[in-house]
Amino acid sequence: MWDFFSTALKDAYGSADRLGWVHAAAAGVDSLLFDELVESPVTVTNARGIFDRPIAEFVLSYILMHAKSSIGSLSDQAAKKWNRRSTRDIAGTKALIVGTGAIGRGIARRLKAVDIDVTGAGSRARSGDADFGEVIDSATLPEHVAGFDWVIDIAPLTEKTERLIGAEAFAAMDDTAVFINVGRGDTVDTDALVTALRDGQIGGAGLDVFDEEPLPAGHPLWSMDNVIITPHMSGDTDGWRMRLAEQFHALFEQYLAGEQFPHTVDKKLGYVR
């Protein structure tokens, strides 16, 4: 499925009596899955591994733009204003990464490389994780978000994560915390996010995904000077389509040979385990 937002598969599924495998050219499969497919023996794979590094780099760019006051500098430049000031170190700051899959782990590794302390939030709490150290249960986010400088959402969209981050979580964050979303827009209560930004409950945001895309021109997020908005492009670096095609070709060769795929989507969970 190159267009993973297409309904073509669902529309034609009743006639697909020999279908054995569906590949989604995306990391998230929430828009692909439907009840009949979930309950079927059809194997589903996704583009695991393709977007890890680009999205991690994008997250780091959001962090640097906020820490180094880049939004203010661009505004000053437009106004031809010389405004010398100190900015923030990122070393020693703390990041909570909500979503502990391949992309979340890629983010964790790159943030640790610049001396940012990382903690994960996933489907279950655990300690001793290779990339995160400690992982908290994402269902208890409001109890844990205080003290983090960066709260990064890369959670898959499932029934359990829809509007996972809402008013209670934002109210519990530090008023200097920056919220970053490079996952799915529907994992966030957007109205609660707008309120948190407007009322100073959090310090800012970097947003690549939204519950409505394109983001409407009249949306209040556009006019907030502590928000960076990008159009769902965090994974799209030069050559990304070719990398997707090469991955599909490799998987197709394995499929023809009857070999086991290196990864498959747990259709009931909605992500690769």
Choose the catalytic residue: 109, 232, 243, 263: 232
Does the active-site annotation cover 184? Answer: yes
Domains delineated in the chain: 8-49+238-272 (no CATH), 52-229 (3.40.50.720)
The mean pLDDT of 122-136, rounded to a whole number, is 98
Pairing relationship of beta strands 117-122 and 133-137 according to DSSP bridges = parallel
Q: How many other C-beta atoms can be found within 10 angstroms of the C-beta atom of residue 111?
A: 23
- Mapping DSSP onto H, E and C, the string for 188-256 reads ECHHHHHHHHHCCCCCEEEECCCCCCCCCCCCHHHHCCCEEECCCCCCCCCCHHHHHHHHHHHHHHHHH
Does the active-site annotation cover 259? Answer: no
Stated as kind and residue range, the H or E segment containing 170 is helix 167-172
The dihedral formed by the CA atoms of 71, 76, 78 and 80, expressed in degrees to the nearest 10: -160
The type of residue at 42 is V
pLDDT over 90 (residue 140): yes
Does the active-site annotation cover 163? Answer: no
Structure tokens at 116: 């940012």
Grade residue 3 by pLDDT with cuts at 50, 70 and 90: confident
The mean pLDDT of 257-271, rounded to a whole number, is 97
Stated as kind and residue range, the H or E segment containing 135 is strand 133-137
Percent of the chain with pLDDT over 90: 97
pLDDT over 70 (residue 1): no
Choose the catalytic residue: 143, 213, 246, 259: 213
pTM score of the predicted model: 0.96
Q: Considering the chain, what is the average pLDDT of its residues?
A: 97
Cβ(132)–Cβ(108) below 8 Å = yes
The backbone region for 46, taken as left when phi is positive above 0, alpha when psi lies in -120 to 50, beta otherwise, is: beta
pLDDT of residue 5: 76
Instruction: Compute the residue count for the chain.
Output: 273
**Counting runs of H as helices and runs of E as strands, what totals does the chain give?**
8, 12
C-alpha to C-alpha distances, 85 to 14, 18, 70, 146, 261, nearest whole angstrom: 63, 65, 11, 27, 53
